[in-house]
Amino acid sequence: MTIIRQYQLVMSDGEIFEGEGLGAELSDGLAVGEVVFNTVLTGYQEVITDPSYAGQIITFTYPHIGNYGVTSADDESGRPYCRGVIVRDLARRHSNWRSEGDLNSFLRRHQIAAIGGIDTRRLTRHIRDSGSMVGAFGSADRPTLLSAACDDPGTGGIDLIGSVTTAEAYTFGDGPRLIVAYDFGVKAAMLRHLAEIATVIVVPAGTTAADVLALRPDGVFLSNGPGDPAQAVPIITELAALLGRVPIFGICLGHQILSLAMGGRTFKMKFGHHGGNVPVRDNRTGRVEITSQNHNFAVESGSVPGVSETHVCLNDGVLEGMVADDIPAFSVQYHPEAGPGPHDSRYLFGQFAELIDANRDVAA
């Protein structure tokens, strides 16, 4: 007989939701983190294993999660870094030829707690209207859950890169160019796309500019990752020493850190962009791309000197891409590697290869 674990989700503003415990059991009675919602219809495993969710609890807006199971091929990192998962209905049965197991067992294996039976539409509307906030769920009583939610700082003012970056450098792929990739929480899909154009040396986030240049790279890649970009001061300082010396491509947190290194400003959004169907317009061509996005912070439009702002989100006008005017560097806020999501923006990896080759020709 299945024993139902009665859980509650309490938000830091006192809003309460009731559900049942899923995934790993909570040894201390609760899980706490900044609650965000993701609108993808598929790709839940890639979302859960994205290191950018460190410090956060993921709410899936799609009501049925887990129906096609899980497979190791879809992991974006070695383990999930999120604090928990919230769903309306976790599928009790999974069916897909690729499946190696069910999502609930996957969560238990990785010690990730979840709460199901939640009215995720009401929760999503609450976050949308009030802004992202910390929540706590579990079997603890309401005052304990509320206190935990109020005491947790969320992701604002927090540097989480050190909790997800690699401890040691490693090589991925064997392409014709050499790219050094800063690991701020890099996704496997990014490395696969980079490996199509280069041999990739993945380095810890704390690697100095001098150590990067000693590798004689053709280009430097700045990955996605979690936390407040403004708190990554040592990384921003080192990156400033690389500007103009080697071609640079940044994605998501990498875009934000590049912007800060160039003198720009970032801010925390009300509830961020988390989904796989966000429309972005290329200002240079008018072309609209449907993109995958996952960010709670953004770059303030007009704040970065010496760049052309190339892309904008059509939903809310957030800056989504830029190209440096006088040095070989560009970045985007969205995820051209998808995983999960549409493939409209994969051409950007080819543009990075072209930028590298053009810079080689100039150097020669």
Residues labelled as active-site residues:
252, 335, 337
- Dist CA 364 CA 362 (whole Å): 5
- Dist CA 335 CA 347 (whole Å): 12
Alpha carbon of 35 to those of 99, 137, 212, 340: distances in Å? 28, 11, 36, 20
Of 304, 201, 305, 193, the closest CA to residue 246 belongs to 201
Residue identified by tokens 């169907």 is 277
Sign of CA dihedral 172, 175, 180, 184: negative
Please give the DSSP secondary-structure letter assigned to residue 342.
-
Q: Judge whether 47 and 38 are in contact, CB under 8 Å.
A: yes
Collapsing DSSP to helix, strand or coil, 321 comes out as strand
To which H or E segment does residue 192 belong?
A: helix 188-195
CA atoms within 13 A on the CB side of 97: 0
- Dist CA 128 CA 136 (whole Å): 18
Distance of CA 77 to the CA centre of its chain: 11
- Dist CA 158 CA 267 (whole Å): 13
CA angle 138, 143, 144 (to 5 degrees): 50
Mode of pairing for the β-strands spanning 177-183 and 198-204: parallel
Q: Judge whether 349 and 170 are in contact, CB under 8 Å.
A: no
Question: Tokens at residue 164, please?
Answer: 């997800």
Question: Tokens at residue 16, please?
Answer: 């309460």
- Dist CA 134 CA 157 (whole Å): 14
Please give the DSSP secondary-structure letter assigned to residue 112.
-
